[in-house]
Amino acid sequence: MRIGVPKEIKNHEYRVGLTPASVRELSAHGHEVWVQAGAGAAIGLADEQYQAAGAQIAGAANDIFAHADMIVKVKEPQPQECRMLRPGQILYTYLHLAPDPEQTRALVESGAVCIAYETITGPGGGLPLLAPMSEVAGRMSVQAGAHYLEIAHGGRGVLLGGVPGVAPGHVAVIGAGVVGTHALQMALGLGARVTVLDKNVDRLRQLDLVFGNRITTLYSTAQSIEDAVLDADLVIGGVLVPGAAAPKLVTRSHISRMKKGAVVVDVAIDQGGCFETSHATTHAEPVYGVDGVVHYCVANMPGAVARTSTFALNNATIGHALALADKGWKAALQDDVHLRRGLNVCQGKVTYEAVARDLGYPYVDAATLLG
């Protein structure tokens, strides 16, 4: 199979779909890999390293899209990339379709076979291709929040760890999954007071066993969310409904009553966000204010630490990339129900139920397209 890796073009996105090590794996399986010139240059992955691993270098993205059987990316295709996709071509990347009707329509019209990292499942029921970026984003969320709590950046001038004789800042983490767990670890490391909210009591019990009275765990209700948010200096939104739009758990009314200069970081923004006042921002313009509360809603947070993110992501994605290349998409999806759950759009049909429901498309079971 011929595999193409275009350079990412989303604002301040420097990650790359394949590392030279991943190229070497695919080349060893007899596949032809084409990488766009400069695709990894920003994170120290030179074209010469790709060539040494067995890749060919292409000068322009249209050459990659025109000749590749499978496109491997990091972020969702931008409009000009969607226009270059063709029927039957495999697209293997993050998609986050539920809050993005324009991208969904473009992918449906392309006829491509679109496999989303974020809905591929694992044997334990988790989301192993989403997990590494959730780990990065969870850790970054506290780092970003601490920065914007500084008064020069619009915050209320709170040091999360406090100092002797002065109380630490309060961090409320909504969602106790991968994002929330890594956020609370960072917040604890800075010395903050941490409250974690989730509806999964078993998960709260696990966190309590690990962290004990260093954190407060609360069952997530409208009341407990309101109480935690209004008391917090920093609120991290780490809620995920796989493949679907995130629920709006923090309302505009909550935001209007928060402490002035408090910060919210919406890690769920790729799925539409879990704050009613959220809208996606970029690394170039990461924050905005609503009712005196600083909102950080960057849709590709891990792109800020692109080298770490690229290597972490490739560790998770290369196995399925090899399966798709070795077997072809139909056989690979027939053989692996977890990979099959990554199929979101295929040959003009929406094959992920939550996306179809949220965006009003007929749902087509992926199994019916596999022959």
Known catalytic residues are: 96, 270
Tokens encoding 136: 């990065």
Q: Are 309 and 15 in contact (CB under 8 A)?
A: yes
DSSP 349: E
Give me the phi and psi of 315, to 5 degrees please.
-55, -35
Angle separating helix axes 201-211 and 178-189, nearest 10 degrees: 30
Burial class from Cβ neighbours inside 10 Å (0-12, 13-18, 19+) for residue 325 reads: buried
Q: Are 345 and 54 in contact (CB under 8 A)?
A: no
Tokens encoding 69: 């059987």
Contacts of 176 (CB under 8 A, 6+ apart): 196, 197, 198, 200, 203, 204, 207, 217
- Number of neighbouring beta carbons within 10 Å of residue 15: 27
DSSP 172: E
Q: Give the CA radius of gyration of the chain.
A: 21
